[in-house]
Amino acid sequence: MVEWVKLELDIDGFDETRFERYLHRARSSGIRFTTMAALGDAPQQRRALYDLNKACSADIPGRGPFYTYDEYVAQRIDVATFNPNGVMVGIRGDDWIAMSATSLHPEQQFAFSEMTGVLAPHRRGGLSLAVKLLAIRFVRSEGYRRLVAFHHPHNEAAIAMNRRLGFVDQVG
Protein backbone atom coordinates (compact mmCIF):
# COMPACT_ATOMS: atom_id res chain seq x y z
CA MET A 1 0.00 0.00 0.00
CA VAL A 2 1.23 3.49 -0.83
CA GLU A 3 2.20 5.67 2.13
CA TRP A 4 1.02 9.05 0.84
CA VAL A 5 3.07 12.11 1.72
CA LYS A 6 0.52 14.38 3.38
CA LEU A 7 1.47 18.03 3.41
CA GLU A 8 -0.17 21.14 4.77
CA LEU A 9 0.36 24.88 4.37
CA ASP A 10 -0.53 27.36 7.11
CA ILE A 11 -2.20 30.12 5.09
CA ASP A 12 -1.87 32.70 7.88
CA GLY A 13 1.89 32.21 7.93
CA PHE A 14 2.32 32.26 4.15
CA ASP A 15 4.28 35.28 2.95
CA GLU A 16 3.28 35.73 -0.66
CA THR A 17 5.84 38.49 -1.28
CA ARG A 18 8.48 35.72 -1.41
CA PHE A 19 6.85 34.28 -4.53
CA GLU A 20 5.46 37.27 -6.39
CA ARG A 21 8.52 37.47 -8.60
CA TYR A 22 7.59 34.14 -10.19
CA LEU A 23 4.20 35.52 -11.15
CA HIS A 24 5.74 38.70 -12.55
CA ARG A 25 8.31 36.71 -14.49
CA ALA A 26 5.69 34.41 -16.01
CA ARG A 27 3.48 37.34 -16.99
CA SER A 28 6.44 39.15 -18.52
CA SER A 29 7.15 36.08 -20.63
CA GLY A 30 3.66 36.29 -22.15
CA ILE A 31 1.74 33.88 -19.95
CA ARG A 32 -1.67 35.06 -18.81
CA PHE A 33 -3.36 33.62 -15.77
CA THR A 34 -7.07 33.20 -15.42
CA THR A 35 -9.65 30.85 -13.90
CA MET A 36 -12.10 28.34 -15.31
CA ALA A 37 -14.87 30.61 -14.03
CA ALA A 38 -13.56 33.62 -15.96
CA LEU A 39 -13.12 31.48 -19.07
CA GLY A 40 -16.74 30.34 -18.91
CA ASP A 41 -16.39 26.70 -17.80
CA ALA A 42 -18.00 25.63 -21.08
CA PRO A 43 -17.30 22.35 -22.98
CA GLN A 44 -14.38 23.88 -24.91
CA GLN A 45 -12.66 24.98 -21.70
CA ARG A 46 -13.41 21.67 -20.02
CA ARG A 47 -11.73 19.83 -22.88
CA ALA A 48 -8.67 22.09 -22.66
CA LEU A 49 -8.46 21.53 -18.90
CA TYR A 50 -8.79 17.79 -19.43
CA ASP A 51 -6.01 17.74 -22.04
CA LEU A 52 -3.69 19.73 -19.76
CA ASN A 53 -4.50 17.66 -16.68
CA LYS A 54 -4.04 14.42 -18.61
CA ALA A 55 -0.68 15.47 -20.08
CA CYS A 56 0.67 16.56 -16.68
CA SER A 57 -0.72 13.55 -14.85
CA ALA A 58 1.24 11.22 -17.13
CA ASP A 59 4.28 12.20 -15.02
CA ILE A 60 2.72 11.47 -11.64
CA PRO A 61 4.35 8.31 -10.27
CA GLY A 62 1.86 5.50 -9.71
CA ARG A 63 -0.94 7.44 -11.40
CA GLY A 64 -2.01 4.67 -13.78
CA PRO A 65 -4.32 5.29 -16.75
CA PHE A 66 -6.04 8.65 -16.82
CA TYR A 67 -9.79 9.18 -17.08
CA THR A 68 -11.55 9.31 -20.42
CA TYR A 69 -12.99 12.77 -21.05
CA ASP A 70 -16.47 11.66 -20.01
CA GLU A 71 -15.13 10.07 -16.83
CA TYR A 72 -13.19 13.24 -16.07
CA VAL A 73 -16.25 15.42 -16.40
CA ALA A 74 -18.36 13.04 -14.30
CA GLN A 75 -15.79 12.44 -11.56
CA ARG A 76 -13.76 15.65 -11.46
CA ILE A 77 -15.94 18.47 -12.77
CA ASP A 78 -19.59 17.59 -12.26
CA VAL A 79 -18.99 17.10 -8.54
CA ALA A 80 -19.93 19.31 -5.61
CA THR A 81 -16.31 20.12 -4.73
CA PHE A 82 -15.41 21.43 -8.21
CA ASN A 83 -15.12 25.20 -7.98
CA PRO A 84 -14.33 26.96 -11.27
CA ASN A 85 -13.09 30.00 -9.32
CA GLY A 86 -10.50 27.75 -7.71
CA VAL A 87 -9.11 26.37 -10.96
CA MET A 88 -6.20 28.56 -12.05
CA VAL A 89 -4.79 28.16 -15.53
CA GLY A 90 -1.76 29.63 -17.25
CA ILE A 91 -2.14 30.20 -20.99
CA ARG A 92 0.45 31.24 -23.57
CA GLY A 93 -1.07 32.17 -26.90
CA ASP A 94 -3.73 29.51 -27.31
CA ASP A 95 -1.86 26.90 -25.31
CA TRP A 96 -2.89 25.92 -21.80
CA ILE A 97 0.42 25.17 -20.12
CA ALA A 98 -0.12 25.31 -16.35
CA MET A 99 -2.89 24.66 -13.85
CA SER A 100 -3.61 24.52 -10.15
CA ALA A 101 -7.02 23.30 -9.00
CA THR A 102 -8.24 23.65 -5.43
CA SER A 103 -11.36 22.38 -3.70
CA LEU A 104 -12.87 23.78 -0.52
CA HIS A 105 -14.15 21.64 2.35
CA PRO A 106 -16.14 23.84 4.71
CA GLU A 107 -17.15 21.13 7.16
CA GLN A 108 -13.55 20.03 7.71
CA GLN A 109 -12.33 23.63 7.35
CA PHE A 110 -9.56 22.99 4.88
CA ALA A 111 -8.79 23.56 1.23
CA PHE A 112 -7.35 20.71 -0.83
CA SER A 113 -4.86 21.04 -3.63
CA GLU A 114 -6.38 18.69 -6.20
CA MET A 115 -3.87 19.03 -9.00
CA THR A 116 -1.02 21.30 -9.94
CA GLY A 117 0.65 20.70 -13.26
CA VAL A 118 2.96 22.34 -15.76
CA LEU A 119 3.51 20.94 -19.25
CA ALA A 120 6.94 19.31 -19.47
CA PRO A 121 8.56 21.81 -21.89
CA HIS A 122 7.71 24.67 -19.51
CA ARG A 123 9.03 23.13 -16.29
CA ARG A 124 11.81 24.24 -13.95
CA GLY A 125 11.18 27.94 -14.57
CA GLY A 126 9.12 28.73 -11.50
CA LEU A 127 5.77 28.40 -13.26
CA SER A 128 4.33 26.07 -10.63
CA LEU A 129 5.16 28.61 -7.95
CA ALA A 130 3.39 31.33 -9.96
CA VAL A 131 0.19 29.37 -10.54
CA LYS A 132 0.17 27.99 -7.02
CA LEU A 133 0.55 31.47 -5.57
CA LEU A 134 -2.75 32.30 -7.28
CA ALA A 135 -4.29 29.15 -5.80
CA ILE A 136 -3.12 30.16 -2.33
CA ARG A 137 -4.57 33.65 -2.79
CA PHE A 138 -7.87 32.01 -3.68
CA VAL A 139 -7.78 29.88 -0.54
CA ARG A 140 -6.98 32.93 1.59
CA SER A 141 -9.71 35.02 -0.05
CA GLU A 142 -12.24 32.30 0.78
CA GLY A 143 -11.28 32.53 4.46
CA TYR A 144 -9.53 29.16 4.74
CA ARG A 145 -6.43 28.78 6.90
CA ARG A 146 -5.22 25.33 5.83
CA LEU A 147 -4.27 24.04 2.39
CA VAL A 148 -3.64 20.30 2.19
CA ALA A 149 -1.91 18.23 -0.51
CA PHE A 150 -1.31 14.48 -0.84
CA HIS A 151 1.48 13.09 -2.99
CA HIS A 152 2.86 9.75 -4.04
CA PRO A 153 6.16 9.34 -2.14
CA HIS A 154 8.07 9.10 -5.44
CA ASN A 155 6.71 12.41 -6.73
CA GLU A 156 9.84 14.32 -5.80
CA ALA A 157 9.09 17.35 -7.96
CA ALA A 158 5.64 17.94 -6.47
CA ILE A 159 6.79 17.36 -2.91
CA ALA A 160 9.75 19.72 -3.39
CA MET A 161 7.48 22.33 -5.01
CA ASN A 162 5.16 22.33 -2.03
CA ARG A 163 7.96 22.34 0.54
CA ARG A 164 9.46 25.31 -1.31
CA LEU A 165 6.15 27.12 -0.74
CA GLY A 166 6.25 26.28 2.96
CA PHE A 167 4.13 23.14 3.15
CA VAL A 168 5.14 20.86 6.02
CA ASP A 169 4.26 17.28 6.93
CA GLN A 170 0.76 17.02 8.31
CA VAL A 171 0.60 16.21 11.99
CA GLY A 172 -1.78 13.45 12.97
- Position 2 contacts ligand COA (CB under 6 A): no
- Position 87 contacts ligand COA (CB under 6 A): no
Q: Is 39 or 119 the residue whose CB approaches ligand COA more closely?
A: 119
C-alpha 6/C-alpha 8 separation (Å) is 7
- Position 121 contacts ligand COA (CB under 6 A): no
Strand ranges of the sheet holding 110-118, from the earlier edge strand across to the other edge: 31-35, 87-92, 95-105, 110-118, 146-151, 5-10, 168-169
Q: How far is the CB of 43 from ligand COA (least distance, A)?
A: 24
C-alpha 12/C-alpha 10 separation (Å) is 6
Q: Which of 6, 34, 54, 60 binds ligand COA (CB under 6 A)?
A: 60
Q: Which of 66, 69, 126, 137 binds ligand COA (CB under 6 A)?
A: 126
Q: How far is the CB of 63 from ligand COA (least distance, A)?
A: 8
Contact 129, 167 (CB under 8 A): no
